A and B are shown apart, each in its own frame.
Chain A
Amino acid sequence: MLPDHAKIMTLLNDAEVIVGRKKLQKIVYIGKKMNLPLQEKYTFHMYGPYSEELTLRVEELCSLGFVTELKEKKSGYYQYRYKVTDDGKTFLEKFPMDWPEEEALGLVKKLNDHSSKFLELVSTMLYFDELSKAEVKNKVFTLKKSQNYSESDIEEAWDFIDSLKRKQ
């Protein structure tokens, strides 16, 4: 088993359950930006930073029986629920790994408490973190037109990013 797979399992285990493919993608991305030792490569897609590598890695974990992906219906809408299986947990106990346990646990739980739409905004803003705040706002309004983010959403996201950085 590769360490990169084990790290994703640990992150999922910290979250207990992650509902939504988009949410999983954004939690891993933001975790990576907050210096969790994650290796998945991201590029910009329809909903912001997206990692094909992560999608495939989760699939590999599912095929080994370490993670379950359940498709569930919620008020006329299908979504995916990810969870580490008992076998996965047993494996993690056996697998020694370099992982900042406390820091990661707090961060992952905090991220998991937010909606995927909010995490999409935060991850998009972090993706453009080499730009000025005004340029980032402009990018959000241009590239995320369909999400109708408001000025106050962006302000809230900046505060959230600052709070994440303070905890580092």
Chain B
Amino acid sequence: MKTGNRKLQEEKVFKDPVHRYIHVRDELIWDLIGTKEFQRLRRIRQLGTTFLTFHGAEHTRFNHSLGVYEIMRRIIEVFEGKPHWQENERLLCLSAALLHDIGHGPFSHSFEKVFQTDHEWWTRKIIAGDTEVNQVLRRMGEDFPQKVADVIEKTYPNKLVISMISSQIDADRMDYLQRDAFYTGVSYGHFDMERILRVMRPTEDQVVIKNTGMHAVEDYIMSRYQMYWQVYFHPVTRSAEVILSKILQRVKALQESGYSFKQHPYHFQGFFKGELPLEEYLQLDEAVILYYFQMWQQEEDRILRDLCQRFMNRRLFKYVEFDQNFVMNDWMKLQELFRKTGVDPEYYLVIDSSSDLPYDFYRPGEEEEERMPIHLLMPDKKLRELSRESDIVEAISGKKRTDHKLYYPKEWLDTPGNEHEKKQIRDILQVQEGKREIE
């Protein structure tokens, strides 16, 4: 049985379109990549349903995890020999970076919402449980898997290590912004990572940025802001996500009602019971889920069949934006009109809100905030919060942006039948559309 870590006789490299090469020199990392739990990430897309909007977004959590590892490796190169950096934390940081998303399942966002699961919980189980990942990690000591889990869960005592993988400027975000921009093909999401890496410095409890790198960090924060609204919250992606969630909700409801499926949801049984063994969770990937969606297009249940056809053939819901007046006065009425026409609003009239906070911080004299701010290391060696120095960051600091959308099957309004109710529905929705145009 192997113990400890050895340097590989020859460095291994993965060709990567974002970082050019991903370099592996440690046997521990190489063996973690080879575990079946890590290889499973090849079958889980990084951006879930975004491929229905940006067709290039087919990249997986495997690519991203390798990318986060590579950025972490490069941060460590910069930190080597500097005060506060402890060389004995190197493999812990690399392992945590590589495994930080190991618990993600297929279309995690929707699954977590409908079945009340949590990918962070699965991450702990995979790292601590009877898995190949755990066996490899234990070579570094019996407590090493727990340390890796603690770093990912942000409960590890060394806050510097946590901030390298999880803070407002960390290896995870720096990889996903660039990778998601590359694969979606958008022109946002680019920033000078080389520059940021060169000016990162370790302190006792967080990574800070030399003040000369401020403009590169400004660019990074603006990239993040743009990516959220242009890619992550894209209304078409959200529509696909809404339909996906509704499919899962319908399957759950049918199962509870004793419905007899043509294609029984065998792989969902653990979710229904609320007791899913780890090995069954690990069998789930997007291929399995999409197989069910494909088959359920022939189900007797009209709603499940229709929702699956919509998802598989990209016949998504349209949307209107709405405001308080709509919620107070029209929302209940609209649901009632849907019911009158025989269309269940629970599945066909869906509210979805998105909000984001691009950068936030705590200033002395204000209530404490949970987010650790980005600090600049000034020439006098003092730390200064980023927005105190940067007008650009100051302008967006603490600014939240929110939008509310109502999704519905617009094409159904043009089908024959229930003309009177459909006209009333159209009238309500057009008022909302009109308001948006005026804005």
Which residues of A approach B to under 8 Å, CB–CB?
Answer: 1-2, 5, 20-22, 25, 39, 41, 43-47, 50, 55-57, 59-60, 63-66, 76-80, 87, 90-91, 94, 128, 139, 142-143
With a cutoff of 8 Å between Cβ atoms, the chain A residues found around residue B324 in the complex are 64-66, 87
B104 smallest CB distance to A (angstroms): 14
A60 CB → nearest B CB, Å: 5
A-B contact count (CB 8 A): 78
Q: Is the CB of B157 within 8 A of A25?
A: no
Contact B327 A1 (CB under 8 A): yes
Q: Which residues of B contact A66 (CB under 8 A)?
A: 324
Contact between chains at A45 and B371 (CB < 8 Å): yes
Q: Smallest CB-CB separation from B113: which chain A residue?
A: A39
Chain B nearest CB, measured from A132 CB (Å): 14
SS of A interface (majority): mixed
B157 adjacent to A94 (CB under 8 Å): no
Contact A143 B404 (CB under 8 A): no
CB distance from B424 to the nearest CB of A (A): 19
Q: Tell me, yes or no, whether B355 is within 8 Å of chain A by CB.
A: yes
Binds A, one of B33-41, B214-222, B361-369: B361-369
Given A21-B367, A22-B368: A91 in contact with B355 (beta carbons within 8 A): no
Enumerate chain B residues within 8 angstroms of A50, measured Cβ to Cβ.
370
Question: In whole angstroms, how far apart are the Cα atoms of A94 and B368 in the complex?
Answer: 36
* Residue picked from B118, B355, B370, most chain A C-beta under 10 Å: B370
A128 cross-chain contacts in B, Cβ below 8 A: 155
Q: Which of A1, A59, A139 contacts B355 (CB 8 A)?
A: A59
Q: In the assembly, what is the distance between CA of A107 and CA of B118, in Å? A: 25
Bound-state Cα–Cα, A42 to B153, Å:
11
Residues of B within 8 A of A142 (CB): 157
B155 touches A139 (CB 8 A): yes
24 residue pairs A–B, Cβ–Cβ below 8 Å: A1-B351, A5-B353, A21-B367, A22-B367, A22-B368, A39-B116, A41-B118, A43-B120, A45-B371, A46-B370, A46-B371, A46-B372, A47-B368, A50-B370, A55-B357, A60-B404, A63-B355, A64-B404, A77-B367, A78-B365, A78-B366, A80-B367, A91-B328, A128-B155
Residue B87 at the A interface, CB < 8 A? no
Q: Is there an interface contact between B154 and A45, defined as CB atoms closer than 8 Å?
A: yes
**Chain B hits for A139, CB < 8 A:** 155
For the complex, give the distance between the alpha carbons of A146 and B154 in Å.
Answer: 16
Determine the chain A residues whose CB is within 8 A of the CB of B153 once the complex forms. 43-44
B323 within 8 A of A: yes
Q: Cβ of A20 and Cβ of B157 under 8 Å apart?
A: no
| A127 closest partner in B (C-beta) | B155
Encode contact with A along B69-83: 1 for CB under 8 Å, 0 otherwise: 000000000000000
Which of A56, A64, A79, A143 is in CB contact (< 8 Å) with B155? A143
Judging by beta carbons under 8 Å apart, are B328 and A87 in contact? Answer: yes
Say which residue of B157, B351, B356 sits within 8 Å of A143 (CB atoms): B157
- CB-CB < 8 A to B368: which residues of A? 22, 46-47
Bound form: Cα–Cα A91–B323 in Å: 13
CB-contact partner of A43 in B154, B371, B402, under 8 A: B154
Report how far A5 CA is from B366 CA in the complex, Å: 27
| Bound: A64/B153 CA distance, A | 33
Chain A residues with CB under 8 Å of B356's CB are: 56
CB-nearest residue of chain B to A4? B113
A45-B370, A47-B368, A60-B402 given; A90·B328 CB < 8 A: yes
Contacts A44-B153, A143-B155 given; indicate if A63 touches B402 (C-beta within 8 A): yes
Asked if residues A25 and B328 are in contact (CB atoms below 8 Å), the reply is: no
Say yes or no for B331: interface residue by CB 8 A criterion: yes
> CB-CB contacts of B255-290 with A at 8 A, as 1s and 0s?
000000000000000000000000000000000000
Q: How far is the CA of A50 from the CA of B155 in the complex (A)?
A: 13
Chain A positions within 8 Å of B366 at CB level: 77-78
Q: How far does the alpha carbon of A121 sit from the alpha carbon of B98 in the complex, in Å?
A: 31
**Any A CB within 8 A of the CB of B1:** no
Q: Which of B118, B154, B365, B372 contacts A44 (CB 8 A)?
A: B154
Residue contact A60 to B353, C-beta cutoff 8 Å: yes
Bound CA–CA A21/B366 (angstroms): 11
Complex-state Cα separation, A143 to B327, whole angstroms: 43
